[in-house]
Amino acid sequence: MTETKNNNGLKVLAGLLGVVLLGVIIYTVSLYQDKKKTEAVLTNEKELVEADLTSLKSEYDKAILESNATNEELVTARDNIAKYLDSVKSMKADIASLSRYRRQVSVLKKEREQLLKQVDSLRTSNTLIAMQRDSTFVELEKQTVYNDSLVVQNINLADVVARGSALGITQFNVDAVKERNSGKLVSTKRAKSTDKFKICFSVAKNTIAQAGDREFYLEVLDPQGNVLGDSFSKTNDSGSSVTYSKGTNFYYENKNLDVCDYINKPAGDFQKGNYMVNVYDDGLRLLGTSEFVLK
């Protein structure tokens, strides 16, 4: 009788142990499945962050290619995104890291919107400048036609010939540039990055002007109105004088001629503010004026 009771007790105990073991197995399987689901969610989130960063980098690549000149801010932003992308790809996905990178992506998107708005504004300004330049060229062409008609009509011939033989410029551009280690010059708007000013103009075709060596004078005024450079002085036959930064020599052959020269950095860095550049011919006649700002 006692032996039968003992056997029944063992069977009950074995049954309870079986139930406990089954519960442990079910719990373990549940934990494993939850872990796999969490890993899948984190992997998906990581891929979404990578996709956002890749898309941002592609937009910057496109904006840089469409820019006429290298934009240092765009390049820096693009390079930073590339670094973030490399970090995300190599990191082990976890909730804290992904949350931090999602916040960073949001910040980068706002920065992209601001930079692209600046690029659009610059592009619009360049278009307006081109239109104004074309309009000036048309007006110069009209003036040339008018002067030719004066010659044809023989009205004050000597005066017309004298004025008609004077050289003029049809294009005038000033650019602040930074010289890289490779020697390549890139445009910049920042005073501390500027190594020199690049001044370019086009001397117009003039068939009645005298061919030969010519010299134009470049006057560069800093934000305080001081003349940059060695400050040479020139006086014409009528007694008028100009203090200029540099004389530019070229050989003129009665046809369109592009001329470029440089004004190097002064003893210190260039100052922030408004600059003005004037171009005079060898008779000290003002041919063109350009203004620009260094930040």
The span from the first CA to the last CA of the chain, in angstroms, equals: 104
Q: How far is CA 197 from CA 43, 73, 163, 293, in A?
A: 52, 20, 31, 12
Tokens (6 digits) for 237: 């036959």
Looking up tokens 């934000």 gives: 223
pLDDT digit string, tens, across residues 232-250: 898 988 888 999 989 999 9
Which of 134-143, 217-226, 240-249, 277-286 bottoms out in mean pLDDT, i.e. has the lowest? 134-143
Residues 75-120: pLDDT tens digits?
Answer: 777 777 777 667 666 666 565 555 566 666 666 667 766 666 766 6
Burial of 194 (0-12, 13-18, 19+ CB in 10 A): buried
Is pTM beyond 0.75? Reply is no
Bridge-based pairing state of the strands 185-187 and 196-203: unpaired
**CA 25 – CA 20 distance, rounded (Å):** 9
CA angle in degrees (0–180, nearest 5) for 45-46-52: 90
Q: Tell me the pLDDT tens digit for each residue of 157-216.
A: 555 555 667 888 888 999 999 988 888 889 999 988 898 999 999 998 988 888 899 999
Selected residue with higher pLDDT from 140 and 226? 226
Fill in the DSSP letter of residue 227.
B
